[in-house]
Amino acid sequence: MPDDSPRQELDALWRATQDRLRASVPESTFRLWLEPLSAAGSDGDTLYLTAPESIRAWAERRYAALIAEALADSGTPLRRVRFGAADSGRGGEPQARELELNPSYTFDRFVIGPSNRLAHGAALAVAEAPSEAYNPLFLHGPPGLGKTHLLAAIANYLGANAPGLSVRYTTAESFTNEFVTALRSAGNDAFKARYRDIDVLLIDDVQFLEGKPHTEEEFFHTFNALYESGSQLVLSADRIPSELSTLASRLRDRFEWGLTVAVEPPNLATRLTVLRRLVKESGVEIADAGALAELANRIDANVRQLHGALTRVIAHASLMARPLSSELIAEVIPRARSAQATSVEEIQQRVAEGFGISRAELIGSSRAATPLRARQVAIFLTRELTDLSLPQIGRLYGGRDHSTVLNSLRRIEAGIGEDARLAERVEELRGAIHNPTRE
């Protein structure tokens, strides 16, 4: 007879987790969004949950981070949560789902400058003639410079102009999670068909494959199968293939078979163009002609930070009932630090001091109000002031899942626009981080 003890242990863990969730949200919220969830299985540090299709997307978006924190409080090694559609089989694994493409990530909306002109041209050539231009195309550069935008632009272009082609966009992290799930559910054949019987495969953040030998092996065979069948491959990473030092050499070699292109930080003219477009789309009025130039001069790292800085200025202008001017930008946005990049440790220490807690409490598992809010603010500032990706930030904050990081960002972004005290506090901490000698 099969051993049901692992299943019983999982069911017991999920019941205990639901008890914690019930105590942390209103009863109506629990009954509507959390009670219908079921534990499907676990692998490593990941708990797989199933949910009715009618609530799955909302429950994942709003409550994945809360569930992960409830798991952490239980003392279990499970720290991550993945959702799938509910099925009729007991203990069935979640079904693979396509990552949603951002429809605004198109070639028309990509701001071209000297730092990314070659990357844009190569991506457009691949979109117009898959497998005939550059195969594979490998884009590399720090986060926030537009690599994901270009990969999604290729997929969106092909969806609109070549609907007969089968195109799949995913991240290396999602590829890994699907592969692990397929192994556990004896669905490896379906997984192989999903990734090898296609015309175009776009994989973002392939550096995530480092240190995962089984996934590397599977991706190696997937790469070979697609390349030999004439399918197009487009890859991105935060550095060139040769610097992916812990990745198998045979994979690094294959990444360099086609065209490798760097995406570099935007120059001043490009930053100004980005800001003008963002301002036009937001409908915000600028008080003086030099305001955008002032902002572009103060943020020189990447487009993501530029967007975040503009959002902060708009929020301050709204909360303080002031025009969006050069003067306001000078007050709100510190000049770019030309020496050494802000360290996560510095951010954590400053935020912990600002909230009157220890750094250990900040990155720990406590869900008390003060450490929780401090952690969310620290994560928000880390995303803004560094080039780290969501998974990288999560690992530096107690090994939290990227969905927890995303939830923290959304809470603080929303809070800054609604709570003047929070906006002021975040600004004070930002100033302390940028000017550590200031009392």
- Tell me the three-class secondary structure of 111-154, residue by residue: CCCCCCHHHHHHHHHHHHCCCCCCCCEEEECCCCCCHHHHHHHH
Q: Is the pLDDT of residue 47 over 50?
A: yes
pLDDT computed for residue 420 by the predictor: 76
Structure tokens given for 60: 């994942």
Sheet holding 167-171, edge to edge: 167-171, 200-204, 232-237, 137-140, 259-262
**Reported confidence tier of residue 139, pLDDT bands at 50, 70, 90:** very high
> Dihedral of CA 53/57/62/68: which sign?
positive
Highest mean pLDDT among 11-25, 149-163, 380-394: 149-163
Predicted structure pTM score: 0.57
**Reported confidence tier of residue 6, pLDDT bands at 50, 70, 90:** low
Closest CA to 393 of 202, 162, 144: 144
Cis, peptide link before residue 114, omega less than 30° from 0: no
Q: What CATH architecture is 117-262?
A: 3-Layer(aba) Sandwich (3.40)
Q: Do 95 and 85 contact (CB within 8 A), yes or no?
A: yes
Q: Is the pLDDT of residue 329 over 90?
A: no
- Neighbouring residues of 168: CB distance < 8 A, sequence distance ≥ 6: 98, 194, 195, 198, 200, 201, 202
pLDDT computed for residue 117 by the predictor: 92
Which of 38-42, 43-47, 224-228, 334-338 has the lowest average pLDDT?
Answer: 334-338
333 vs 67, residue with greater confidence: 67
Q: Is the pLDDT of residue 336 over 70?
A: no
Q: Taking residues 407-430, report their average pLDDT.
A: 81
Question: If you search the block for the tokens 């550069």, which residue do you land on?
Answer: 141
pLDDT computed for residue 439 by the predictor: 41
Per-residue pLDDT tens digits for 387-401: 777 788 888 898 887
List Cα–Cα distances, 364 to 174, 314, 372, in angstroms. Answer: 26, 33, 9
Distance CA 179, CA 187 (A): 9
Kindly indicate whether the domain formed by 268-332 is annotated with CATH number 1.10.3470: no
Q: Is the pLDDT of residue 92 over 50?
A: no
Angle value at C-alpha 239, between 234 and 241, nearest 5 degrees? 65
Closest CA to 110 of 277, 222, 233: 277
pLDDT computed for residue 122 by the predictor: 95
Q: Do 13 and 74 contact (CB within 8 A), yes or no?
A: yes
Closest CA to 101 of 192, 202, 232, 184: 202
Give the bridge partners for 336, in sequence order: none
Instruction: State the average pLDDT for the chain.
Output: 81
Fold of 344-434: Chromosomal Replication Initiator Protein Dnaa; Chain: A; (1.10.1750)
pLDDT computed for residue 151 by the predictor: 95
Give the bridge partners for 42, in sequence order: 47
Q: Is the pLDDT of residue 88 over 50?
A: no
393 vs 85, residue with greater confidence: 393
Q: Is the pLDDT of residue 172 over 70?
A: yes
Highest mean pLDDT among 69-78, 126-135, 265-274, 286-295: 126-135
Distance CA 74, CA 327 (A): 50
Kindly indicate whether the domain formed by 5-85 is annotated with CATH number 2.130.10.10: no
Per-residue pLDDT tens digits for 204-263: 998 888 878 888 889 999 999 999 989 999 999 988 888 787 777 888 888 889 999 999
pLDDT computed for residue 265 by the predictor: 83
Distance CA 19, CA 31 (A): 12
Q: Do 143 and 307 contact (CB within 8 A), yes or no?
A: no
Give residue limits of the domains in the chain.
Answer: 5-85, 117-262, 268-332, 344-434
